[in-house]
Amino acid sequence: MALLIHLLVCTFGMGSWVAINGLWVELPLLVTELPEGWFLPSYLTVVIQLANVGPLLVTLLHHFRPGYLSEVPIVFTVLGVGTIACTLFAFFWNVTFWVLGSQHSITFMVLTFFLALVDCTSSVTFLPFMSRLPTHYLTTFFIGEGLSGLLPALVALAQGSGLTTCVNVTMTSDTTPSPETTRNIYPQGVNSSFMSDLTGPASPMVHLESRYLPANFSPLVFFLLLSSMMACCFVAFFLLQHQARPWEASIEDLLTSQVTLHSIQPREEEDLSPGPVDSSKGQGDLEEKTAPYHSARLAFIYTLVAFVNALTNGVLPSVQTYSCLSYGPVAYHLSATLSSMASPLTCLLSMFLANRSLTFLGVLTVLGTSFGAYNMAMAVMSPCPLLQGHWGGEVLIVVSWVLFIGCLSYVKVMLGVILRDHSRSALVWCGAAVQLGSLLGALLMFPLVNVLRLFSSADFCSLQCST
């Protein structure tokens, strides 16, 4: 039964961000079809941040009307809307409308808003729901949250989304680039006289450019697979509601904590005397005793949560392509896939090697941030970062991304465990800190990337960097 609950919790956690993560990994195919082109990520960033109105509303209601909201119906609504929105994406993602004299993907934007509303709201509803389960299930939840990035990435990898190849492009003064023609001109074993006759007096210029490879299956199939993942999360949560043992385990865990606290505080022994006890007072006393952290320590924890999520959800993802593509498509796909794997594996590791020391978590945050700083530095130096064209540079950037995600994922899990043991409301504010950090990170990077254009994209096939 315990294994089944772990499986259900993991599947439930996967529904937290699987929709938006799936949308991002599918972008290389979508930008070639939608009129916004590579400006589409900029629009998505704004739309996703607008969806933070959902968690803001939930957090305010929890603060001003405690007990007014119940997580269960909200979670059912969130997962239901996410499943429906993913299904609608499969059939209407490429529908456009004329707005202000040009075509725009209005349907795509509207559906993106609902998906973002689902995923953003999950931060302040899924975590408080997990307070009903014993602490060790929270780690399983974070494993599922890590899988929400890994599974769409693996599906996109199987689809061939974003895979490129280098092709020869011939340019002359009176013709346009034609990679298809050039492919026919330069097959293996072509004779030199044929090439000279073709190029002859026109003096064409031949150079390499990147071209996307055709996908193995369409976005329709991808979004239907994404919809099935959301449906699995819905079913997992439904089954989780009908498991009696988790609630009993949670109560036993709570009572065990209460007995332990009384045993280490002898001055409270009179509270254990037999007789009727006011349950509401007991619950309030219990929450006080399970909160040994002063306001300053809680403020430090929430600040750390916001900072870590700003880096992992806002700042560094905005520049991953700039930091990796200069080293080639293989380095980029390895860094994206392996870093996605690092998150759930780190969460799994935290189940066996747990360390709740704030000093240790602070040091690990600094270490993870240093790897993030290296990634940012390589993005700033794009298209000619350190060791570009050398295998050592490719290894370093991949390892740096994996360790960056791994270190900060461990910090996120342990901070969540600490706050879970503090109180239920602490998890609500933890979710709010997650969204606040993600919002600030995205808002910081949007003008730097899209307005000031401080980062330069790299075409690996045509790079000319001095060695």
Give the phi and the psi of residue 206 in degrees, each rounded to 5.
Answer: -110, 125
- Give CA 83 to chain center in angstroms: 18
According to DSSP, the residues that pair with 171 across neighbouring strands are 205
Q: Which two tokens stand for residue 243?
A: 């498991």
Residues 6+ apart with CB under 8 A from 339: 401, 402, 404, 405
The pLDDT value given to residue 110:
92
Q: What global pTM score does this model have?
A: 0.70
- 192 close to 184: Cβ distance less than 8 angstroms: no
pLDDT for 246:
46
Task: Classify the C-alpha dihedral 60-65-69-70 as positive or negative.
Answer: positive
- The residue ranges of the chain whose pLDDT is under 70 are 1, 38, 42, 67, 161-162, 171-204, 206-207, 209, 243-293, 424, 458-460, 462-463, 466-467
Asked if 223 and 1 touch (Cβ cutoff 8 Å), the reply is no
pLDDT tens-digit map of 341-379? 788 888 778 878 888 888 999 999 999 999 999 999 998
Query: What is the pLDDT at residue 204?
Result: 65
pLDDT at position 407 is: 93
Length of the chain: 467
The CB density around residue 10, as the number of other CB atoms within 10 Å, is 23
pLDDT at res. 267: 40
Q: Which tokens belong to 232?
A: 């699995």
3-state secondary structure of 273: coil
| Contact by Cβ (8 Å): 82, 15 | yes
